[in-house]
Amino acid sequence: MRQLFEKYEWRVETMVSYRKRGEVWQYEISYKDINGKYKKLRRSGFHLKSDAEMAASKVRTDFVDVRQYRNAELSLDDYFERWLKLYKQGSVSDITLNKYTNTLQHIKQIFGHIKLKDISRSVYQDRINFFAQTHAVRTVATFHKQIRAALLDALDDHVITSDPTRKIVITGRPVRAKRKALDYEDWQKLIHCLDPTNKLDLIIYIAAVTGMRYAEILGITPKDFDPISQSLRINKTWDYKYRTGFKKTKNQASIRTIRIDVRTIQLVKEHIETNNIGRSTPLFLTDGIAPVSAQINKVLTDKLNSINIPRITFHGLRHTHASVLLYQGVSVLSVSKRLGHSNISTTQSTYLHIIKELEAQDNDKIISILSTL
């Protein structure tokens, strides 16, 4: 059987050849991979030589480097995993990297092994819609954002020829509004039902009377308390997720000194003495390990259920503390500093509904004062 063999040079490192095998034509592209080793890319089944030439030419046109054509043969999950190691590993925090890793697991479940070159806008939208059936809009938006970042890099590298994520519609499962904070009476009920001799109850108590973040509470040591001035110095946090020890505060404004009441100081003092805690040792560790957030949230939920109060999250204690102070007439500026917000606008935007209510009350007071003139 006669075989026709012709070669054309595309570039120094790439050669294309055509062969006729029986009744069909095949093209073969020889190229060097990233390590300098020669590899071959073959496609056959073309009835005419011109069809094989057109197909090979399309590879050249669509993919500037044939090596990128090989990348387009990768499944989305394989490409995303490589992209993650190349661009994100070592350049983002462990928490952020964990979010990307979760996205990779979802990609494997939602997209399966669909190849990059086969992901059109309609395919991508269909998969996003499927994901949205069981996830909230915010979760879907984050999922899409992270995949899109990888695919835009693939587009820049000519691995794909168009952006399948363009003009994608984001939907999601409706989320029921959650109670963010306790009112003043429920706040008091919770505080009075806590047993401060119990470590986890004491953590909840401190959050309720200081508005501190969970990681900030876990970072407290005995030397941070000053009984004379009735103050607590907040200058570090504790990594309860990855157990790497002390960490910096969320931002510079989070480094602060707040006033605390005599009872809180006494309860902390008793906890320190009972557990023989060293001056530089975090108050709430057990064998060097801090309770995880899920554990403290469960304890809080059980406490609230026991006194028939609707559930809030542990972070909701921070919102509760701020809300109580604002309703009791403490200025927004003082609340902002106590919470460790980077600027007062953060406090104003977070508690805008409360500020508007207080403004209405103030307006009534103003009219009452003017009416006596």
Q: Looking up tokens 């028939």, which residue turns up?
A: 308
Q: Is residue 364 part of a domain?
A: no
Last residue of a domain, one of 38, 63, 88: 63
Residues 57 and 116 in one domain: no
Non-local (6+) Cβ contacts of 101 within 8 A are 84
pLDDT tens for the chain, residues 1 to 373: 344 434 444 343 567 888 888 889 988 877 666 566 777 778 888 889 888 888 888 766 555 454 555 566 889 998 999 899 888 988 887 778 889 999 999 999 999 989 998 999 999 999 999 999 999 999 999 999 999 999 998 888 778 888 999 999 999 998 766 788 999 999 999 999 999 999 999 999 999 999 999 999 999 999 999 999 999 999 999 999 888 999 999 999 999 999 999 999 999 999 999 999 999 999 999 888 999 999 999 999 999 999 999 999 999 999 999 999 999 999 999 999 999 999 999 999 999 989 888 888 888 888 888 888 7
Structure tokens at 131: 């994901």
| Whole-number Å distance between alpha carbons of 290 and 218 | 7
Residues 117 and 231 in one domain: no
Structure tokens at 359: 């403004």
Residues 288 and 218 in one domain: yes
Residues 333 and 266 in one domain: yes
Region of 288 on the Ramachandran plot (φ > 0 left; ψ -120 to 50 alpha; else beta): left
3 state SS of 289: strand
Q: Is residue 312 part of a domain?
A: yes
What pLDDT shows up at residue 27?
84
DSSP 135-181: SBHHHHHHHHHHHHHHHHHHHHTTSSSS-TTTTPPP--B--PPPP--
CA 65 and chain centroid, separation: 35
Residues 197 and 231 in one domain: yes
DSSP 170-239: P--B--PPPP----HHHHHHHHHH--TTSHHHHHHHHHHHH---HHHHHT--GGGEETTTTEEEE--EEE
Instruction: Judge whether 217 and 242 are in contact, CB under 8 Å.
Output: no
Q: Is residue 167 part of a domain?
A: no
Distances (CA, A) of 193 to 187, 224, 300, 363: 10, 27, 11, 37
What pLDDT shows up at residue 246?
95
Last residue of a domain, one of 23, 39, 63: 63
Residues 342 and 225 in one domain: yes
Q: Is residue 31 part of a domain?
A: yes
CA atoms lying within 13 Å on the CB side of residue 115: 10
CATH number at residue 138: 1.10.150.130
What pLDDT shows up at residue 276?
95
CATH number at residue 215: 1.10.443.10
Q: Is residue 287 part of a domain?
A: yes
What pLDDT shows up at residue 283?
96
- The set of long-range contacts for 326-334, using a CB threshold of 8 Å and a minimum separation of 24, is 326/351, 326/354, 326/355, 326/358, 327/184, 327/354, 327/358, 328/184
CA atoms lying within 13 Å on the CB side of residue 88: 22
- The set of long-range contacts for 273-279, using a CB threshold of 8 Å and a minimum separation of 24, is 274/197, 277/221, 277/222, 278/222, 279/221, 279/222, 279/223
Residues 296 and 334 in one domain: yes
Region of 95 on the Ramachandran plot (φ > 0 left; ψ -120 to 50 alpha; else beta): alpha
CATH number at residue 46: 3.10.450
What pLDDT shows up at residue 28?
84
Q: Is residue 175 part of a domain?
A: no
Last residue of a domain, one of 63, 87, 113: 63
Residues 129 and 33 in one domain: no
H helices present in 276-351, as ranges: 293-306, 315-327, 332-339, 344-350
Residues 88 and 53 in one domain: no
What pLDDT shows up at residue 353?
87
Residues 206 and 333 in one domain: yes
Please state the domain count of the chain.
3
CA atoms lying within 13 Å on the CB side of residue 305: 7
Element (H, E) at 29: strand 24-32
Q: Is residue 36 part of a domain?
A: yes
| Whole-number Å distance between alpha carbons of 243 and 94 | 11
Instruction: Judge whether 111 and 153 are in contact, CB under 8 Å.
Output: no
What pLDDT shows up at residue 95?
77
**What is the residue range of 231's domain?**
184-359
Residues 249 and 117 in one domain: no
CA atoms lying within 13 Å on the CB side of residue 103: 27
Residues 336 and 297 in one domain: yes
Q: Is residue 365 part of a domain?
A: no
Pairing of strands 245-247, 237-239: antiparallel
Q: Which backbone phi and psi does 225 adopt, to 5 degrees?
A: -95, 140
| Cβ neighbourhood burial of 44 (10 Å; 0-12, 13-18, 19+) | middle
